[in-house]
A = this chain, B = another copy of it.
Amino acid sequence: MINEQYKKMLEGKSVIRQLSEFATGRGKEIGYENVFDYSLGNPSVPVPEKFTEVMMDLLKNKSSMELHGYSPSLGIASVKEKIAESLNKRFDMDYTGNHIFPTTGAAGALAHAVRCVTKPGDEVLTFAPYFPEYIPYINLTGAVLKVVPANTENFQINFEKLEEMLSEKTTALLINTPNNPSGAVYSAQTLTALAELLNRKQKEYGHDIFIISDEPYREIIFDGMKAPYVSKFYDNTLSCYSYSKSLSLPGERIGYVAANPRCTDAELISAICGQISRGTGHNCPPSIIQLAVAEVLDQTSDMSVYETNMNLLYNELISLGFECVRPGGTFYIFPKALEDDAVAFCQKALKYDLVLVPSDSFGVPGYFRMAYCIDTEKVERSLPALRRFVKENY
């Protein structure tokens, strides 16, 4: 019989997808180049040339069985070792290949990490604003997602509310820094305070509380800064990464879970993920993609366009009177809407062909998200529309 739980989910329509469909439809009328579509987080810069070269080289020079044969269910050993080495060098960690479990992007990483450190009924806390897909991602594992209200002053952590919500039932925190949608990067101070609190609570409850750290935007950081590496601050951390953004290949579904070598059962995490895979049908990412990404681990696409776009938008928004926390990274910005009802605000913006996403589904009412992973030229052309929208309505 058709599973009613999943069938019911079809009734809920993603706001982002609806907006994106509007943008596509409107694009057919006036040309997509004239729709200022800030709805989707689809990277616009090309994959590094080296990635394409490595793919071609693998296809030319490896034997079919070597290249396309079954890879070990825990991932290709040489790939895992290279990922570990790259992380060790960049973040002063001491991973071995055994701490790395290659996955199909961050979604795959989260599906494994959550099942690894929770059982059905356990509570996972996350922080508003948050990526709306966290709700099905977590709840469909059987764990229960709870949202800690936002600290709208700077989108760091609201520690008072967090402490209220932590309980015996909490076995994991899901954090996302740099953050979609706010662009905030958790400071070393925030992460130190978080680790201190969790270490205290672990003792109090007598059980582990893991941080599941969702880090697909880790390499998109502005002002020449570096994002503090979460796992460096707290031992019980599973870092969930995707190369989707840093290498601009979201379609190729490649990422990993990296277990902190000092976390509980660190040496078993990768093997436990392998067991979880049997139920999710994961069975490791494609061999050729694993092998190709392993050769470009320390590269990124040219992501300077995101910082250029952020500065253009931030400056314009501030000069138009918006309240806005300046993003430290990502390709998102999350200003306060000019009226309480963000949905109404974004609806009005559509008349100016500005596709903005209301913040309600991110767990904070009254804001909106702009995804500026688009050409700078288009951002520039959108500014007069933004000005007209504000002047004529507020």
User: A residues within 8 Å of B by Cβ?
Assistant: 1-7, 9-10, 42-44, 46-47, 52, 55-56, 59-60, 63-65, 67-71, 103-105, 107-112, 115-119, 122, 133, 136-137, 139-141, 171, 207-208, 210, 248-254, 264-265, 268-269, 271-272, 275-276, 278-289
Contact = CB atoms under 8 A, between A and B. Distances in A.
Given A265-B7, A284-B253, A1 B207 contact: yes
Q: How many copies does the complex hold?
A: 2
A140 B251 contact: no
A273 B75 CA distance: 25
B70 A46 contact: no
Given A44-B65, A55-B59, A264-B2, A283 B253 contact: yes
Contact of A251 (B1, B68, B264): B68
Contact of A248 (B68, B122, B285): B68
Contacts of A43: 65, 69
A9 B281 contact: no
Contact of A281 (B1, B109, B278): B109
Contact of A70 (B1, B42, B115, B171): B42
Contact of A68 (B47, B140, B283): B47
Given A63-B46, A117-B1, A104 B251 contact: no
B2 A265 contact: yes
A110 B281 contact: yes
Given A251-B70, A253-B285, A272 B171 contact: no
Nearest to A278: B136
B2 A117 contact: yes
A250 B265 CA distance: 31
B1 A208 contact: yes
A37 to B, nearest CB: 14
Contacts of A254: 286
Nearest to A253: B286
Contact of A59 (B52, B117, B208, B264): B52
A60 B289 CA distance: 16
Given A3-B272, A5-B119, A111 B251 contact: no
A71 B282 contact: no
